[in-house]
Amino acid sequence: MTQSIGIDLLSFYIPQYYLDLGVLAERNNIDVNKFHRGIGQEQMAIPPHDEDIVTLAANAAYPIVEQYGRDNIDTVLFATETGIDQSKAAAIYVHKLLDLPANCRAVELKQACYSATAAIQMALGYIARHPGKKVLVIASDISRYDLDSPAEATQGCGAVAMLIAENPRMIALDLATGTHTEDVMDFWRPNYRKTALVDGKFSTQMYLRALEHAWQDYQDNGGHAYSDFTHYCYHLPFSKMGIKAHQHLARINEQEVQESDTDAGMIYNRVIGNSYTASLYLSLISLLDNRDDLAGQPVALFSYGSGCVAEFFSGVVSDDYLEHRFRTRHQRLISEREALDYDTYLEYWHHPDPTDGSSVTNPTCNRGTFRLAGIDGHKRQYTRCC
Ligand code: CAA
């Protein structure tokens, strides 16, 4: 019998605050339909002073370890393009906050929005060699573009934590995958910048081109046919990108587009915005939380990281996935948020980390279990709130 490995559990976390794109539209004198219909976004998650990729990540993973335990988790892979340190892995802070054992390794991975997919593929191979072990993969990012730029409306943030294990309770991942790597400058962030540089229109073209190549490679490697899937999840920098991607894939395969192929996978992303590495997996959670009829169904997944690396892969939803969702928690995280006014959004956006070693104590804004209490002597200080 073939070994079944995949995503055993998955949980996301977002901050308590969001900016409604209506506020941005009014401030910049833009027709709000450009955001709602043109790019398919309504709101974007905004981190307060005491939230960063580490607190987002630890808060995303906490329900998994609290409810299901820490046994056999011997690796943490932290995927991000919002790194807080050039040397030390953000995974080490999370390892400590989650109280994982010292004989559990912790590493950070980077390749724009793609690296969580690389982490999953590595974890699948690792578990095939070490059956019974579990790998905690966490994707955590804060998407930040220049104010008053066309990309400003495609910000957001969030983290998704996934336990990769044998006999997964959520989704078993197939062996066949298709990849595409190409050196392009569509989106990047040099070390000295807080915000990404992007060639917006070119990036959307590259996304579609990479999809086409990755799909072809997936087919060459024995993947499912287009018509085998009833649901597709895409990397969603904004939800309209996923709609365009799906139209493109349907066209290549000479098929009609069904809205139901993608709509459940876009519900959460529309009100959270771009969470870079976490975005595809947020879409997967959105699908699993919003459909109760997926048991045994094959789901297609497309991961895109600018620069670029893309991967098309797939999985089959487990029979008892309904029992292991964190749906109530996820829906409360979204519904119990506070809307920011434009000035508070700007205040959060500008909040600087000191670069001279001086001390900053952050006000308590974060509703999660873990917060960034401050920075002192170039050292970030994380605390547990409750
Ligand atoms: N009502 C309805 N629709 C409207 C409208 C209105 N009043 N006004 C404009 N629109 C439509 C436009 O027709 C357009 O639709 P199409 O794309 O179907 O033609 C859409 O709204 C967007 O309008 P513009 O093309 O004028 O948008 P823009 O130039 O202001 O910027 C963007 C759009 C390029 C996506 C920009 O937001 C951006 O650069 N975002 C960041 C880059 C990005 O997300 N790229 C995605 C691929 S790269 C990737 O996936 C990695 C990643 O995570 C970054």
Q: Please tell me the distance between residue 41's alpha carbon and the centre of ligand 1 in angstroms.
A: 10
Which residues contact residue 34 at a Cβ distance below 8 angstroms, ignoring those fewer than 6 apart? 25
Which residues contact residue 2 at a Cβ distance below 8 angstroms, ignoring those fewer than 6 apart? 175
* Residue minimizing CA distance to atom 48 of ligand 1: 203
Q: Quick one: which of 186, 195, 144 has its CA closest to 304? A: 186
Identify the pLDDT of residue 1: 54
Q: Please tell me the distance between residue 114's alpha carbon and the centre of ligand 1 in angstroms.
A: 21
Q: Is 187 in the pocket of ligand 1 (CB under 6 A)?
A: yes
**Interatomic CA distance for residues 326 and 322, integer angstroms:** 9
* Residue minimizing CA distance to atom 21 of ligand 1: 38
Predicted TM-score (pTM) of this structure: 0.98
Identify the pLDDT of residue 365: 81
Q: Encode 343-381 in three state secondary structure.
A: HHHHHHHHCCCCCCCCCEECCCCCCCCEEEEEEECCEEE
Would residue 113 show up in a list of annotated catalytic residues for this protein?
yes
Q: Is 184 in the pocket of ligand 1 (CB under 6 A)?
A: no
Q: Is 34 in the pocket of ligand 1 (CB under 6 A)?
A: yes
Catalytic residue among 49, 95, 108, 113: 113
Cβ–Cβ under 8 Å, residues 345 and 150: no
* Residue minimizing CA distance to atom 11 of ligand 1: 38
Would residue 259 show up in a list of annotated catalytic residues for this protein?
no
Strand bridging mode 134-143 / 73-79: parallel
Q: Give me the sign of the Cα torsion angle 2, 281, 277, 204.
A: positive
Q: Is 83 in the pocket of ligand 1 (CB under 6 A)?
A: no
What is the number of H-type helices and E-type strands within the chain?
11, 18
**Interatomic CA distance for residues 307 and 44, integer angstroms:** 24
Q: Is 306 in the pocket of ligand 1 (CB under 6 A)?
A: yes
Identify the pLDDT of residue 367: 86
* Tokens read off for 12: 């996301």
Q: Please tell me the distance between residue 161's alpha carbon and the centre of ligand 1 in angstroms.
A: 29
Q: Please tell me the distance between residue 238's alpha carbon and the centre of ligand 1 in angstroms.
A: 8
Among 31, 143, 204, say which to mutate for ligand 1: greatest number of ligand atoms within 8 Å of CB.
Answer: 204
Rounded alpha-carbon distances, angstroms, from residue 16 to 43, 190, 238, 325, 385: 13, 29, 20, 21, 15
**Interatomic CA distance for residues 262 and 271, integer angstroms:** 16
Cβ atoms within 10 A of the Cβ of 37, count? Answer: 11
**In tens digits, what is the pLDDT along the chain, a chain of 386 residues?**
567 999 999 999 999 999 999 999 999 999 999 999 999 999 999 999 999 999 999 999 999 999 999 999 999 999 999 999 999 999 999 999 999 999 999 999 999 999 999 999 999 999 999 999 999 999 999 999 999 999 999 999 999 999 999 999 999 999 999 999 999 999 999 999 999 999 999 999 999 999 999 999 999 999 999 999 999 999 999 999 999 999 999 999 999 998 899 999 999 999 999 999 999 999 999 999 999 999 999 999 999 999 999 999 999 999 999 999 999 999 999 999 999 999 999 999 998 889 999 999 998 888 899 999 999 999 999 999 86
Burial of 70 (0-12, 13-18, 19+ CB in 10 A): middle
